[in-house]
Structure 1
Amino acid sequence: MNTSHPLLAKFERSLTLTGAERDAINVLPVRLEVVKADQAILREGDRPKRSFLLVEGLACNSKVGPNGKRQILAFHLPEDMPDLASLYLDLRDSDTWAMTNCTLAFVSHRDLDRFCDEQRRLSKFLWRDTLINASVHREWTVNVGLREGLARMAHLFCELMLRMRALGRAKDGTCDLALTQADLAEATGLSQVHTNRVIQELRRLELISFARGQLTVHDWDGLVETADFRADYLHLPPVDRPESAPGARRA
């Protein structure tokens, strides 16, 4: 049974920790909680007194418009801290939802504030992480506002594949992605009918398969070209180009 501190993996993926930093992380109090799929983690208007790390599962940030429709603003994967900014921003301006069953590690703002004061290098890393989230939000604005439907969906699939690969959760061009076409529609600003059409077109072009909670990329270079995708905004460490699925069956 893995009993390591939930935040260790996040820091260790990018930093070589000193013994003192590792000790400081290990004594940071956390409370593990499970939130079921389709349940709210945070609501717009909340005044949270703690932040959380997503340990397992898939979550999203979203807002509901005056017409009652939801716009997904970001998908959150394991090791993300979606609400770190609430340490300084008292009022939540968006909802955070569990899209699958999620395990969350909550840290009180009092303990997190003390940790950041005492561990300056680790504090800078956390705020860099928050700035990257803002970078992703800007790219999503461009994606929804300027790209056509096919490129818009291809761009989202490129991003999610790269992020899952950086976590070690993609292999041979395939990763688990428990999203529905309705979720993808809300993330791209497309209707569900249009979403279905562009996914079918990406399949027809033999770029991807997306079925039964799995995304498979058959032609990474072709998907990147279709999306006009550049990964700079993700600020990921240098990695080899993602592989396409070798001889994968098109679905």
Structure 2
Amino acid sequence: METGRPYSRLLFRLERFNELTTEDRQRIADLPLKLVNYPAGRDVLSHGYATSQCTLVLDGFLFSHKPVSGSRRQITSFFVPGDVADLATLYLPAVDHSITTLGPAVLAFVPHTALKEAADRSTALTQAFWRETLMQAAILQEWIVNLGRRDAFARIAHIVCELTVRLQASGMARDLSFAMPWTQTDVADACGISNVHANRVIQEMRYLGLVDWNSRRLTIRDWNALMRLGDFNDDYLQYCASIKKDYPLTGHAAPEGGFARLRTSPLAYGVPGGAKSDC
């Protein structure tokens, strides 16, 4: 089976847990994928609308979100290359949220009928698709915990750790650095905080030497400290040991003073000069 093909990302994703047979791999290769380049900020699926196809992320990022109080929104998940962003629409075609591109993205659309036919012919593929659906549910559950029980600093740190692990599982971010075209507003909407609060936390992370966070690239400088401060444990992602051994599980010690240092940082109570930065 050739690598570098549109279906390769999906195959890599489905085989994280169990190797598929030659026949199953061919079924995935034969799926009628339609490749489309999407610009930034374009809805792929809109709340309340039905769809007859699933969306595979080949390059770039998507995010799901729901409106809150008019023009406000809550981001409920990010999707990275290799994710099928709307696999649940196989059986729930009318979505209760919207899915939008976060920066330019390359997507592959596959008809529900083709996916169902492949799954009907293979128990292994059916199980693989179910796992993907359940893993997305596990991520959503962790996001609920993140929003309900962690402070703003831990929320952002947790999401950064999660994205790093998920990107590594897709063969990216091996050097703890990845391009992410999100804005300060996107970060705030994912964490349920204000833009100003998100800006303060990002400044704080920079000050503590945890990350280099520029306009479009994030580089983690202290993985272990970021995990601890974000209360991050990747068990909910359910990645197999063969992938987890490549995770960045070593690094520097946590910042001296831990959370106490966060409270005494000169950035803890505001950004110097009232400056605002786009992350």
TM-score, normalised to structure 2, is 0.83
Contact 1:173 1:245 in 2 (8 A): no
1:242 to 227, 243, 248: 248
Contact 1:53 1:82 in 2 (8 A): yes
The percent of aligned pairs where both chains have the same amino acid is 37
Contact 2:20 2:124 in 1 (8 A): no
Contact 1:217 1:244 in 2 (8 A): no
CA distance in 1, matches of 2:6, 2:20: 14
Match of 1:169? 172
Q: How many residues align?
A: 247
CA 1:245–1:172 in 2, change beyond 3 Å: closer, same or farther?
A: farther
Tell me the C-alpha RMSD between the 2 structures.
2.0
Contact 2:224 2:251 in 1 (8 A): no
Moved beyond 3 Å, runs of 4+: 1-4, 12-15, 243-246
2:66 to 55, 63, 68: 63
Contact 1:172 1:243 in 2 (8 A): no
Match of 2:7? 5
1:36 to 28, 35, 39: 39
**Higher CA-based Rg:** 2
CA distance in 2, matches of 1:244, 1:164: 18
CA distance in 1, matches of 2:180, 2:77: 14
Give CA deviations for 1:194-241 in whole Å, capped at 9, x if unaligned. Answer: 000011111111111111311111111111111111111111222234
Counterparts of residues 100-249 of structure 1 (less than 5 Å): 100-238=103-241, 239-240=244-245, 241-242=247-248
Q: Structure 2 unaligned runs (5+)?
A: 253-279
Match of 2:272? none
Contact 1:60 1:76 in 2 (8 A): yes
CA distance in 2, matches of 1:9, 1:159: 19
CA 1:66–1:124 in 2, change beyond 3 Å: closer, same or farther?
A: same
Counterparts of residues 73-84 of structure 1 (less than 5 Å): 73-84=76-87
CA distance in 1, matches of 2:231, 2:15: 32
Give CA deviations for 1:56-101 in whole Å, capped at 9, x if unaligned. Answer: 1100000011232011000000010111111111311000001121
CA distance in 2, matches of 1:172, 1:47: 40
Contact 1:47 1:91 in 2 (8 A): yes
CA distance in 2, matches of 1:70, 1:230: 27
Q: C-alpha displacement at 1:109, in angstroms?
A: 1.1
Counterparts of residues 8-19 of structure 1 (less than 5 Å): 8-19=11-22
Q: Structure 1 stretch 48-57 or stretch 237-246: which is displaced more?
A: 237-246
Contact 2:40 2:102 in 1 (8 A): yes
**Partner amino acid for 2:137?**
A
TM-score, normalised to structure 1, is 0.92
CA distance in 2, matches of 1:221, 1:245: 6
CA distance in 2, matches of 1:141, 1:221: 23
